[in-house]
Amino acid sequence: MNGRFKASGGTVGGGLLVAGTTSDAGKSVVTAGICRWLVRQGVRVAPFKAQNMSLNSFVTREGAEIGRAQAMQAAAARVEPSALMNPVLLKPGGDRSSQVVLLGKPVGELSAKGYFGHTGGGPASAGSALYGGRREELLGTVTDCLAELRRTHDAVICEGAGSPAEINLRRTDIVNMGIARAGRLPVVVVGDIDRGGVFASFFGTTALLSREDQELIAGYLVNKFRGDVSLLTPGLEMLRGVTGRPTFGVLPFAHGLGIDEEDGLRVSLRGAVRESVVAPPHGADVLRVAVAAVPLMSNFTDVDALAAEPGVVVRFVDRAEELADADLVVVPGTRGTVRALAWLRERGLADALARRAAEGRPVLGICGGYQLLGEHIDDEVESRAGAVPGLGLLPVRVRFAAEKTLARPSGHALGEPVAGYEIHHGVAEVHGGETFLSDGQGRALDGCRVGSVWGTHWHGSLESDAFRRAFLRRVAADAGRAFVPAPDTSFGALREEQLDRLGDLIEEHADTAALLRLIEEGVPAGLPFVPPGAPRLAGPATAEPASDTSSPPSPVPPREHEAHGDTVAPATAGEPSDHSNSLEGGIR
């Protein structure tokens, strides 16, 4: 299995695109599972997602910002994360705008129309002028990145975004069928059967694609199935009958496998705790952690390491009274520090935090959460709100710089080694309090502490096991809890166990021989067309170029279909995607 895969274009790395009928169908975890299964077979594999929309991001060793899901998939593949794995990252800053991160570096803030480009009917915007011909340029960038990964690896497992049947966005697509067609990648479509409607979703997704795109849809993978698989078999056979495509496996529902998701509140080890019984405490008491669910919350995966500790109960809150019984309140990162500050004040959470600080009860601010705990914020970059008073709980003044800080620092805190990563525009000037993170020689590196209020820009610091235990002991003492952190909890080992569970799901419940053939040999020949195909839209936003939209053939009687296998019965409308023309939905 160590040799190079052979593809139709010559000796290059094999490839596969994992698409989904909807967002959150399981594309990220299936991609990670395939990566882990392959690397255990001795295959040099890398993950890839051409374009990602997420507020959960990570910094590579070379200082590039990528989606955290791709960093997790790289860990599954046992390779170092790289900007090549996620060349375009979109970080929402509101309902209609996102920061565009290209090859790991921010290049601008654009509206949805600015990102998609000018489509006529009025003057071009500044964004469309900046990104004139943007789709062609970005498609070239992402295909170059994919080609480089395929050159240096045996296989590249690509993840799509949302649904490949976003018919209003197909013309500008670079992450689903756009990259699949450019790279001649076979596509496996994942569907979440736990939501219901999976057969209609598979059929509808296929039937809304053009003939050229359908030629790449190799088959399906059912995710999150509960019950007896034999009861599902007749449906899978009927699905093959009407699409001409096999189902490559039925993955059972498993708790706690949503590791490092893009957005939402189903994340990593914290997700496992929320879905199952919290492990009993090592000491006599539990520790309750409340995380303020601030707007545009980013890198909420920071609290996963807390939830991994036996006896630590983590919950997300948005009301002041929910802080009352918390032993620790975490104010997480956010892409909208000033907006989050106003939200805290409007909901009474700001006053509740001030009372906690006055009573000596623990509060931890991370990145944007650290900034809003300070005295003053001067923001002409993110919100352009100018000078804004902070909560005044830490002696810190923050100025937003145009250039983003992207770093992988390490140091010491509470007598223990600690490492993390930084992603922020805010520059903090500390003029008091105690040093939080230092170089081990007494020189301050980041953050500060006043009483039981702590703040740092470093994401991921709680994943450092010895530091996390020391911090929780301090929190328990300040909170008056008889909580003792377990001496042997290893966050890294738990993460590896989860990744192995993903690999096991693929190995035990998917047709791995068929998946391997797809990766090695490419798109199967002779896949039938499922009518009606991609619809033609009026105006410049046509879903497909004229050459890509095929008129559906006349229906063939069932027996003739069975004999020839070159077409199928007419399709009905499939389930709509959960995306819309909004920025969050439209360019994911």
Peptide bond into 532 cis (omega under 30): yes
CA distances to 198, 248, 549, 571 from 202, rounded to whole Å, are 6, 13, 20, 11
Q: In which residue are the tokens 């109960």 written?
A: 313
State both tokens at 209: 């694609």
Largest Cα separation within the chain, whole Å, is 82
Residue 35 known to be catalytic = no
Count the helices and strands in the chain (H runs, E runs): 19, 29
Q: Which residues lie below 8 Å from residue 152, measured CB to CB, with a gap of 6+?
A: 13, 44, 46
Residue 367 known to be catalytic = yes
Q: In which residue are the tokens 């929309």 written?
A: 53
- 451, 290, 448, 295: which is closest to 374 by C-alpha? 448
Considering the candidates 35, 145, 158, 367, report the single residue annotated as catalytic. 367
Q: Residue 51 and residue 146: Cα distance in Å, rounded? A: 12
Residue 558 has φ and ψ, to the nearest 5°, of -55, -40
Instruction: Write the DSSP symbol of residue 484.
Output: -
Instruction: Write the DSSP symbol of residue 459.
Output: B
Name 397's bridge partners: 376, 429
Rounded (to 5) percent helix, strand, coil in the chain: 35, 25, 40
Q: Residue 27 and residue 95: Cα distance in Å, rounded? A: 24
- 452, 341, 442: which is closest to 387 by C-alpha? 341
CA distances to 65, 67, 381, 572 from 403, rounded to whole Å, are 13, 19, 9, 50
Considering the candidates 118, 459, 509, 579, report the single residue annotated as catalytic. 459
**Cβ atoms of 165 and 175 closer than 8 Å:** no
Q: Which residues lie below 8 Å from residue 497, measured CB to CB, with a gap of 6+?
A: none
Identify the sign of the CA torsion 101, 106, 109, 115: negative
Q: Residue 551 and residue 32: Cα distance in Å, rounded? A: 38
Residue 97 has φ and ψ, to the nearest 5°, of -145, 155
**Cβ atoms of 220 and 239 closer than 8 Å:** yes
Q: DSSP 3-state assignment of 389?
A: strand
What positions carry a catalytic annotation? 367, 459
